[in-house]
C-alpha cells in the first residue's frame, strides 16, 4: 500500500484526519457584497428567530465544562479548541454568515457535561459527535466514544470531575462512521477487552462497514472532504463557522477496537450492568450498519444519527453511495410507533435532546415526513419528465416544515438531496442525448469560451453580472475560463469572489465550507501540505484479506499491465487463508485456494503484510529476514508491485488536473 492509502479510518464517513492541520496562509477574504447583505437580511425575516426553545433544550441539565472545551493534541496543536469561535458569541449575526447557519453555529458552540435524566449523561461540544454515558450498577456504559482518543479521554475526564469514578464496563457503537468509534482507546484498552473486563457492542455488519465504506474510493473522498468540512479553512466569520452536525472534526488519534458482541436481530433486548436496553437495527439508513437504542427504565430514546436537528444527507457532497430516503423515513416512523409513547426524552449522537413525550413524537413525525417528502416529490417530478437540475430548482419544502429548525439544511440540503433521489432511481444520465457523451471539462471549456467571444469578453460580461449579484452564473462562467486557461488570474479571482459570496449566503455549513475552500484554492492554488500516512494498525488489522486485494486491484495501472500475466499464491499463516491473485487482461482478481501454475507462492502472516503497508519494512526485507517464505519467481512479485499506482490526495478540484 502507499502513503495515500485510505486504510486509515481517520474519516467521518470520508473526512480525513487532516482536520488537525493548520489553516493555510491565504489571501484575505473579501467583504460581503450588497446582494449578499440583502439575501442574508431577507433570511432574518423568513424564519422564527424569536423561538429560543432549542437554546433552552441545549442548556438543560448543564453540569459543567472546561474553558473553551480545550483538549491538548498529540503534538503542539490542540485536538479540540472552541476559542477560535468566540466571534459567535455576538448578539447579532455577522453579515458574512447566513443568519440561520449563525444560529446553528451558536447552538453547536454549547459544550460540557449534561444530565439527560437519572443515570444518563452526555458530553457535547467536545468533538463533532456526542458521547452518551449511562451509569450501570457497578460500571459505566459509553455510547459512541467520539472521533479521537484525545477528545474521548477528555470527555470521560470531564464526567469524572462531577460524578463517581466507576470503571467503564461497556462501549456501544451506534454505527459505522468513525466520529462514533475512533476515540475508543481513549476510554478503554484493548487489553481489558481481551481480558473480558469490557464488552464492546455494535450493530450487525459493523466491522465490514466501518472498514470498507470508504476504502476503494477513499483518496478521492478524503480530498473532497476538505471542501465539505472546511478542513483547511481558518475559523472566523469569513471562514469556517460550523460543520452542521457539530463544530468541526477533532484532530488527534483515531483508533478502533473490534466488537466483542453484535446485535443480530432486528429488535434485541439486553440488560447491561443492571440497565435494560432495547436495540433496533436500522441498516442502510444514515450508515450501512446502524442501530437505535431505547432505555425503557429511563424512558429515553436514542435515535443515533437517524434523527438530528438538521436535514441530513441522502447524498453527502464528499461522495458516497446514495441513501434511501423512503427506507430512512420508515425506520423513523417505526421507532415512533414502537417507542414514542414510552419515551419522555429523545437523545441523538449529535446535537441536543428533546424533552416531553409529545415533543419527541412530533419531532420524529416531522423528520419522517421530511425524508419521505424529498423522496416522493422528487419521484413525482422525475416522472413528469424533469431532470435533476430542474427538480432541485423547483422543489420547495411544505410551509409546515420549512419553518421547522430541525428541517433546515445545515448539513444536507433539499437541493442536493433531491438530486440524490434522482441518482438513486435513474442514475447520472438525464435522458437528453446531448448530455450522453459530452466533451470532457477542458475541451468543453475551451470551446465554450471560444463561442462566448473569448476570455476578455466573458470576463467583461461576468463582472457586470457579479455587480448584479448573479454569483451562481459567474462562478459557472469563471469555472469555464479557468478550465480553458488555469493561468488566467483575472478569471481565478472573479471566480473566487463569486464562490465567496455564495459561501457567505449559504445556510448549509457544508456548502459554505465548499464554496470558501474553492475560493481559497482559486486564489492560492492547491494547498501544499505534508504527506501523511493514511494507514494505522487498528484499521489495517480490521481489513479482510479480500478487501486488501480489492484495493490493490484499484491501484493497478492498466496501461502498465497491458499484455502481462502474473499469478501469485498467498498463504496466510495466522488465518490459514489461501488466496490466488491473478493479473490478466489488465485486471487483478483474487479467488480462494491456490492456483496450480502460480509464478510464485508467498507464505506470511497478515501482520507482516500490514507492517509492509505501514512502511515498517519492505517486501525484499521481509523475504530476506524470513518473515516471508518465497517459492518461485521473485521477479514476478516486483513486476506486479511496479504496476501499482500511488495516489496523491491533494489533487486539484477547481482547476484542471495537469
In the listed set 499, 524, 549, which residue is the last one of a domain according to the structure? 524
Instruction: Supply the pLDDT for residue 24.
Output: 54
Q: Is residue 64 part of a domain?
A: no
Do 588 and 630 lie in one domain? The reply is: yes
Q: In angstroms, rounded to a whole number, what is the distance separating the alpha carbons of residues 459 and 466?
A: 10
Residues whose CB is less than 8 angstroms from the CB of residue 420 and which lie 6 or more positions away in sequence, other chains included: 313, 314, 315, 322, 323, 325
Q: What domain range includes position 616?
A: 537-641
Do 507 and 549 lie in one domain? The reply is: no
Do 492 and 563 lie in one domain? The reply is: no
SS3 call for 105 = helix
CB 206 within 8 A of CB 259: yes
Do 553 and 619 lie in one domain? The reply is: yes
Q: In angstroms, rounded to a whole number, what is the distance separating the alpha carbons of residues 407 and 403?
A: 8
In the listed set 491, 524, 557, which residue is the last one of a domain according to the structure? 524
CB 333 within 8 A of CB 287: no
In the listed set 524, 547, 578, which residue is the last one of a domain according to the structure? 524
Instruction: Supply the pLDDT for residue 532.
Output: 56
Q: Choose among 87, 69, 86: nearest CA to 78.
A: 69
Do 509 and 565 lie in one domain? The reply is: no
Q: Is residue 401 part of a domain?
A: no
Pairing label, strands 168-172, 140-143: parallel
Q: Is residue 200 part of a domain?
A: no
Q: What is the CATH number of the domain that holds 573?
A: 3.30.1050.10
Q: In angstroms, rounded to a whole number, what is the distance separating the alpha carbons of residues 117 and 346?
A: 11
Number of compact structural domains in the chain = 2
Do 496 and 549 lie in one domain? The reply is: no
- 453 half-sphere exposure, CB direction, 13 A CA radius: 7
For residue 538, what is its C-alpha cell? 487498528
Do 516 and 579 lie in one domain? The reply is: no
Instruction: Supply the pLDDT for residue 25.
Output: 52
Q: In angstroms, rounded to a whole number, what is the distance separating the alpha carbons of residues 58 and 80?
A: 20
Q: Is residue 555 part of a domain?
A: yes
Instruction: Supply the pLDDT for residue 17.
Output: 39
Query: Phi first, then psi: what are they for 596, rounded to 5°?
Result: -70, -40
Do 478 and 549 lie in one domain? The reply is: no
Q: Is residue 221 part of a domain?
A: no
Q: Give pLDDT < 70 ranges for the chain.
A: 1-26, 530-535
Burial string for 460-476 (b: 16+ CB within 10 Å, else e) reads: eebeebbeebbbeebbe
Q: Is residue 563 part of a domain?
A: yes
Q: What is the CATH number of the domain that holds 455?
A: 1.25.40.880
SS3 call for 60 = coil
CB 421 within 8 A of CB 378: yes
Give the single-character DSSP code of 625. Answer: H
Instruction: Tell me the H-state helices in 72-183.
Output: 99-107, 149-162
Outline where DSSP puts E strands in 470-551. Answer: none
Q: Choose among 304, 258, 301: nearest CA to 278.
A: 301
pTM exceeds 0.75: yes
Q: Is residue 273 part of a domain?
A: no
Do 510 and 561 lie in one domain? The reply is: no
Q: Choose among 403, 301, 402: nearest CA to 354.
A: 301
Do 465 and 519 lie in one domain? The reply is: yes
Do 576 and 597 lie in one domain? The reply is: yes
Q: Is residue 588 part of a domain?
A: yes
Residue 500, Cβ neighbours under 10 Å: how many? Answer: 27
Amino acid at each position: 500500500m502507499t502513503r495515500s492509502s485510505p486504510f486509515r479510518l481517520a474519516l467521518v464517513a470520508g473526512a480525513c484526519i487532516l482536520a488537525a492541520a493548520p489553516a493555510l496562509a491565504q489571501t484575505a477574504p473579501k467583504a460581503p457584497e450588497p446582494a449578499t447583505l440583502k439575501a442574508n437580511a431577507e433570511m432574518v425575516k423568513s424564519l422564527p428567530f424569536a423561538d429560543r426553545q432549542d437554546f433552552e433544550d441545549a442548556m438543560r441539565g448543564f453540569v459543567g465544562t472546561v474553558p473553551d472545551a480545550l483538549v491538548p493534541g498529540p503534538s503542539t496543536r490542540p485536538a479540540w479548541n472552541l476559542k477560535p469561535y468566540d466571534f459567535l458569541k455576538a448578539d447579532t449575526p455577522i453579515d458574512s454568515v447566513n443568519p440561520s447557519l449563525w444560529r446553528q453555529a451558536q447552538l453547536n458552540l454549547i459544550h460540557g457535561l449534561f444530565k439527560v435524566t437519572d443515570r444518563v449523561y452526555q458530553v457535547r461540544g467536545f468533538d463533532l459527535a456526542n458521547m452518551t454515558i449511562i451509569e450501570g450498577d457497578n460500571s459505566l456504559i459509553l455510547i459512541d466514544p467520539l472521533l479521537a482518543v484525545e477528545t474521548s479521554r477528555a470527555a470521560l475526564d470531564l464526567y469524572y470531575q462531577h460524578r463517581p469514578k466507576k470503571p467503564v464496563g461497556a462501549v456501544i457503537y451506534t454505527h459505522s462512521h468513525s466520529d462514533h468509534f475512533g476515540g475508543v482507546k481513549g476510554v478503554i484498552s484493548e487489553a481489558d477487552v481481551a481480558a473480558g473486563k469490557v464488552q464492546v457492542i455494535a450493530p450487525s455488519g459493523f466491522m465490514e462497514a466501518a472498514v470498507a465504506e470508504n476504502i476503494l474510493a477513499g483518496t478521492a473522498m478524503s480530498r473532497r472532504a476538505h471542501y465539505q468540512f472546511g478542513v483547511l479553512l481558518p475559523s472566523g466569520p469569513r471562514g469556517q463557522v460550523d460543520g452542521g452536525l457539530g463544530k468541526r472534526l477533532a484532530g488527534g488519534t483515531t483508533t478502533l477496537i473490534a466488537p466483542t458482541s453484535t446485535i443480530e436481530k432486528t429488535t434485541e433486548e439486553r440488560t447491561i450492568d443492571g440497565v435494560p436496553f432495547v436495540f433496533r437495527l436500522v441498516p442502510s439508513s444514515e450508515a450501512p450498519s446502524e442501530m437505535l437504542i431505547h432505555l425503557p427504565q429511563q424512558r429515553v430514546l436514542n435515535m443515533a444519527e437517524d434523527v438530528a436537528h438538521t436535514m441530513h444527507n441522502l447524498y453527502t457532497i464528499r461522495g458516497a453511495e446514495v441513501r434511501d430516503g423512503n427506507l430512512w423515513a420508515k425506520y423513523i416512523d417505526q421507532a415512533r410507533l414502537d417507542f414514542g409513547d414510552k419515551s419522555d426524552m429523545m437523545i441523538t449522537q449529535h446535537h441536543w435532546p428533546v424533552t416531553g413525550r409529545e415533543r419527541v413524537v412530533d419531532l420524529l413525525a416531522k423528520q419522517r415526513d421530511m425524508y419521505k417528502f424529498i423522496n416522493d416529490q422528487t419521484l413525482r417530478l422525475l416522472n413528469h419528465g424533469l431532470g435533476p437540475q430542474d427538480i432541485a430548482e423547483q422543489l420547495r419544502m411544505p410551509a409546515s416544515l420549512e419553518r421547522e429548525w430541525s428541517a433546515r439544511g445545515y448539513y444536507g440540503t433539499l437541493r442536493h438531496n433531491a438530486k440524490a433521489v434522482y441518482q438513486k432511481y435513474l442514475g447520472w444520465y438525464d435522458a437528453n442525448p446531448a448530455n450522453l457523451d459530452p466533451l470532457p471539462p477542458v475541451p468543453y471549456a475551451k470551446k465554450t469560451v471560444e463561442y462566448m467571444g473569448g476570455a476578455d469578453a466573458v470576463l467583461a460580461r461576468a463582472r457586470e453580472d457579479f455587480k448584479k449579484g448573479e454569483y451562481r452564473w459567474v462562478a459557472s462562467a469563471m469555472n469555464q475560463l479557468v478550465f480553458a486557461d488555469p493561468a488566467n488570474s483575472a478569471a481565478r479571482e472573479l471566480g473566487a469572489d463569486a464562490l465567496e459570496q455564495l459561501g457567505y449566503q449559504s445556510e448549509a455549513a457544508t456548502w459554505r465550507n465548499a464554496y470558501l475552500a474553492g475560493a481559497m484554492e482559486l486564489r492560492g492554488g492547491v494547498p501544499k501540505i505534508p504527506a501523511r500516512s493514511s494507514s494505522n494498525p487498528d484499521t489495517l488489522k480490521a481489513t479482510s484479506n479480500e478487501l486488501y486485494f480489492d484495493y490493490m486491484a484499484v491501484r493497478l495501472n492498466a496501461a502498465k499491465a497491458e499484455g502481462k500475466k502474473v499469478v501469485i499464491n498467498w498463504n496466510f499463516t495466522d488465518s490459514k487463508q489461501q488466496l490466488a491473485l491473478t493479473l490478466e487482461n489488465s485486471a487483478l482478481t483474487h479467488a480462494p485456494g491456490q492456483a496450480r501454475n502460480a509464478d510464485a507462492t508467498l507464505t506470511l502472516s497478515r501482520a507482516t503484510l500490514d507492517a509492509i503497508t505501514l512502511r515498517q519494512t519492505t517486501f525484499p526485507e521481509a523475504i530476506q529476514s524470513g518473515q516471508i517464505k518465497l517459492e518461485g519467481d521473485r521477479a514476478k512479485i516486483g513486476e506486479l508491485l511496479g504496476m501499482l499506482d500511488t495516489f496523491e490526495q491533494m489533487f486539484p478540484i477547481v482547476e484542471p488536473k495537469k
